[in-house]
Amino acid sequence: MQAMSEQPSKRHPLALRVLHWGLAFLLAVQLMLGFAAEHWTTRTTSDALLSVHFRLGVLILGLMLVRLTLRLALPMSEEYMPRWRRYAKSAVHGLLYLLILALPVSGHVIWVWMGADRTLCAGIQVPALFVPPDDETGRAVAWYVHVYGAWMLLGLVLLHVVVAWFQSLREKHFISRKMGFGKRGRSDC
């Protein structure tokens, strides 16, 4: 049941909804590729999985930059909620953005340090942007950010899904109202 004090929530802009679900799918595939590549026992399969992981990571970074730009540029509807909830929601969403940007960047640092092939497709290369020094501290830092960042992302996404599910128990059609595409859950229907 919807609380009396809460206004009907409005949908996120279409481009952000498309990017939300598209990136949720790509990130699920990317996490599976990363873990599979790390734990596969055959070297050639593991290398092939990592090579797809690299390309998909670059695509995710590009889409995330578009998403961030749109998120900052497009007007978002404000709805009433207690201040603690607003802060908690902003913190979780902000951290999700930060992690999804930090993962490709740290992955790139490891990739360049490995001296791996940076060809995306049709001979297009991702620039290295730095020359790895002899001291490998930077590589170790990037590795920690990448591996623990991936686990943090997984944990935060689970929390995000549980909260969205709980909210949809309190407020009927909450998920479709905020992030859906059809008529169901639209506040003007």
Contacts to ligand HEM from residues 21-60, by CB under 6 A = 24, 27, 30-31, 34-35, 38, 50, 53-54, 57-58, 60
- Rounded to 5 degrees, φ, ψ at 78 are -95, 140
Sign of CA dihedral 60, 62, 64, 66: negative
Residues 6+ apart with CB under 8 A from 120: 55, 58, 126
Q: Name the DSSP letter for residue 11.
A: P
**How many Cβ atoms from other residues are within 10 Å of residue 103's Cβ?**
25
Kindly state whether residue 178 participates in binding ligand HEM, applying the rule CB under 6 A: yes
Site string for ligand HEM, 123-162 (x = CB under 6 A): --------------------x--xx--x--x---x--xx-
Q: Which residues bind ligand HEM (CB under 6 A)?
A: 16, 20, 24, 27, 30-31, 34-35, 38, 50, 53-54, 57-58, 60, 71, 93, 96-97, 100, 103-104, 107-108, 110-111, 143, 146-147, 150, 153, 157, 160-161, 164-165, 175, 178-179
